[in-house]
Structures are given as C-alpha cells and as structure tokens.
C-alpha cells in the first residue's frame, strides 16, 4: 500500500493527551454536550494549525453508581511547548474570537452547573498505531 493509502493515527508517539473526566448530571447531559460542542470545539478548531486536537465522549459502559465520571474530553498536543502555550491562547485570543458573545467566565459557570470535573490527567504517548 502506498503512502497515500495509509491512515495516520490521530495521536502520534511523543505527543501529549489530556483527558478531563467529568460527572455530568443526567438531566443536563444534552446541555453539556451542546456547550462543549458549540463553545469549546470552535476554540480548539481555531488552533488546528498548531496541531492541537480535541475529542468529546460520553461513557457507554460500564455503568453504575460506583463510577466517578460519565463523560470526558480529550485534548491532544503535538509538543510540550504547545501544551504550555495553550493556556494563554485558549483563555485569551482564541476564546474571544470563537465566542465573542460569551465571556469565558459565563461558559465556565454553565459547564460547572452541568458537570463536576472529577479529574484531569496528562499523558505522554509512547507509541501509536493506525486503523486499517
């Protein structure tokens, strides 16, 4: 198979991922997904040229009251430097450009009403493969 026929893995060796686990209130799940999709996703989309990625997921299985989370977002960064620089870009320029009608403090309050962040991890990708 030629290079043009190979699929590249979305996360490459040496990159960083930051999963943020949340416990979303069941009655506000749709509102949380909409907030993340319509408010945060455009911020990350504006940073694609920097190699920053973003994923939104809700837990399908397992289920049970023992779980501390039922949803997560995962941000990906190509380098340690891009991870460090992300904080300033997200909270300042990128947020304002993507959401001129809503201050970030209002978004944080709305997300906080819908979900409680359980934990955030930072992982370095040691190896990666692509689906065929």
Print the domain residue range for 47: 12-124
What does pLDDT average to over the chain? 87
Percentage of the chain exceeding pLDDT 90: 59
pLDDT at 5 over 60: no
**Terminus-to-terminus CA distance in the chain, angstroms?**
11
Residue 2 lies in a domain: no
Number of domains in the chain: 1
Give a yes or no: residue 65 inside a domain: yes
Quote the CA–CA distance of 126 and 6 in Å, as a whole number: 21
Residues 35-40, mean pLDDT to the nearest whole number: 95
Model confidence pLDDT, tens digit, residues 63-117: 777 889 999 999 999 998 888 877 666 567 888 999 999 999 999 999 999 999 9
CATH of the domain at 119: 3.30.70.100
């Amino acid at each position: 198979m030629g290079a043009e026929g190979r699929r590249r893995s979305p996360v490459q060796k040496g990159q960083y991922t930051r999963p943020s686990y949340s416990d979303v209130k069941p009655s506000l799940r749709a509102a949380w997904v909409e907030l993340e999709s319509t408010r945060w996703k455009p911020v990350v989309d504006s940073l694609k040229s920097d190699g920053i990625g973003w994923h939104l997921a809700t837990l399908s299985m397992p289920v049970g009251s023992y779980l501390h989370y039922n949803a997560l977002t995962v941000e990906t960064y190509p380098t340690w430097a891009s991870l460090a620089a992300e904080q300033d870009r997200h909270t300042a320029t990128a947020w304002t450009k993507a959401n001129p009608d809503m201050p970030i403090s209002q978004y944080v309050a709305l997300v906080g009403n819908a979900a409680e962040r359980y934990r955030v991890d930072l992982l370095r990708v040691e190896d990666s493969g692509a689906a065929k």
